[in-house]
A = this chain, B = another copy of it.
Amino acid sequence: MTSPLLEQLIDAFRVLPGVGPKSAQRMAYHVLERERAGGQRLADALGAAIEKVGHCVRCRDFSETEVCGTCASASRDAHLLCAVESPADRLAIEQATGFRGLYFILQGRLSPLDGIGPRELGLDTLAARLAEGEVQELIIATNPTVEGEATAHYLAQLARQHAVRPTRLAHGVPLGGELEYVDRGTLSHAFGGRSEMAD
C-alpha cells in the first residue's frame, strides 16, 4: 500500500457490519476516486450522530433529545405500549402497520449466558412505566426465536403483575409463502391458530 492514511481508512471501514477486507478496500477506493464530497458528508454525519444521538429516557430508542419525538407526541395513544428488541424492529412495525401507540425498545433480549438480564433490557424502567397505570395493553413484539420467546414470557408476567393485558404478535404462514416450504413449527402453529372465515 502506498499511503498509510489509505490503509487506516480501509482498516476503519471494517467496523461496519458485513464489511470484510475486500469490501473495505473497495469502499475506500470508491470514496477517494469518485465520492470525496459524499465521503466528507459521511464523516460529518458519523461524528455528529456519535456525539449527539443518545437514548430516549422513556422508550430507549435512539434520540437526540431526552424524550424522543414519538414519546413526546400528544397524538399517540399512551394506553398501548409495544415492546420490541431493536430500533430496526420498531421502524419495521411503524412502517408496516397503522400502530398509533407508543414503543419500548429493549435493545436486546434476555440471554443469561451473555450476561443480559432484566436490568440490561431496562425492565426496571418498563416496570415503573407499567406501574404508572396509563398503559392498558403491552404488545410484545420480540422476535420468534428461543430467546425472544423467553423474553416475551418474562414481559407477559411483568405486565400481569401490573394488571396490564399482555398480547403477542400472531404467528403463522407468511403472506405469499407456500405451505410446502413453511417450517413445521410455523405450520403447526398456524394450523392450531386457525380462525373462522368471514362470509
Contacts and interface: CB of A to CB of B under 8 A. Distances in A.
Interface residues of A, number: 55
A48 B5 contact: yes
A157 interface: no
B88 A29 contact: yes
A77 to B, nearest CB: 17
B88 A32 contact: no
Interface of A is mostly: helix
A8 interface: yes
Interface string A113-137: 0000000000000000000000000
Contacts of A2: 56, 61-63, 68-70
Copies of this chain in the oligomer: 2
A38 interface: yes
A61 B3 CA distance: 9
Contacts of A31: 15-16, 46, 49-50
A164 interface: no
Nearest to A26: B17
B33 A107 contact: yes
A101 interface: no
Interface in A35-57: 35-36, 38-50, 52-53, 56
Question: Sorted from nearest, which 8 A-B pairs have the closest CB atoms?
Answer: A15-B38, A43-B46, A12-B45, A12-B42, A2-B68, A9-B49, A9-B45, A43-B47
21 contacts: A2-B56, A2-B61, A2-B70, A3-B53, A5-B52, A5-B64, A8-B48, A9-B45, A9-B48, A15-B42, A17-B26, A17-B27, A17-B30, A29-B86, A29-B87, A33-B87, A39-B46, A39-B50, A42-B43, A43-B46, A43-B50
